[in-house]
Amino acid sequence: MKKFVTAAMSCAIAFAACAGMSVSAEKADTYSAWLVGTIGGNQIWEKADAEVASITGNGSYTVNWKLDQGSDSVSCLILKTDINLYDYAPEDVTAEKLLDESSAKIVIDSVSVDGAPISYKMSDGAFTVDDDGSTIRVNLMNEWGQKVNIYDVPAKTNIAESISVSFTVSGLDQDADKDDSKGDDTKQDDTKQDNTKTDNTKKDNTKTDNTKKDDTKKDAAKTGDAGVGLALAGLTIAGAAAFVSKKRN
């Protein structure tokens, strides 16, 4: 009986372990990105100490690092993520082919210092696998790279308050959430067009009304002229009749 209970407990523990592995192997709905490294007297090496950008799918993002004190040098700067390259690669992929065969990619678009863009160009080898062997990271300044040293952000860079990195993620299963405000703006523009049409109609109606009024005035003028003519004719005839009557007398 004891052996049966022990075996059952062992199976339960094994099942729980397998269940935990299957859950951890599922792709995440959202991922995170953050900056680590050394900038003068400022250091961040843990995600808990960094400002984190939430990645909801394919799209462009920006992550910031606000310094505790200004610096005139950058010793190390790395963009780290928790995107697992294996989740977007063939099941039989090898570690050597992981970067090439995984669809998940990150490209650095720009780097800004104290809110102003600096000259930046992403080098070959900057996109790589983190020390855990599975997640994405991008070296912006790293003299201790796994395969190649990266100096895309110059070591002599003056930073008074902050540095920010804008990047684009691609190759995930879903796109980032769309901005609904764009759709609203489009609807507002359509409404404006309709209003313009309505105004034009009103203007046309006003013109038509004015034309009618003008025609009425013209008709009235014509009628007035005819009345005056008839009155003058009447007076002329009356005068002539009076003259004839005088002669007869």
pTM, whole model, 2 decimals?
Answer: 0.62
Return per-residue pLDDT of the chain as tens, 249 residues. 433 333 333 333 333 333 333 333 578 889 999 999 999 999 999 999 999 999 999 999 999 999 999 999 999 999 999 999 999 999 999 999 999 999 999 999 999 999 999 999 999 999 999 999 999 999 999 988 667 899 999 999 999 999 999 999 999 999 987 643 333 333 334 444 444 444 444 444 444 444 444 444 444 444 444 443 433 334 333 443 333 333 333
Which residue type occupies 106?
Answer: I
Tokens of 146: 């796994």
- CA diameter of the chain: 164
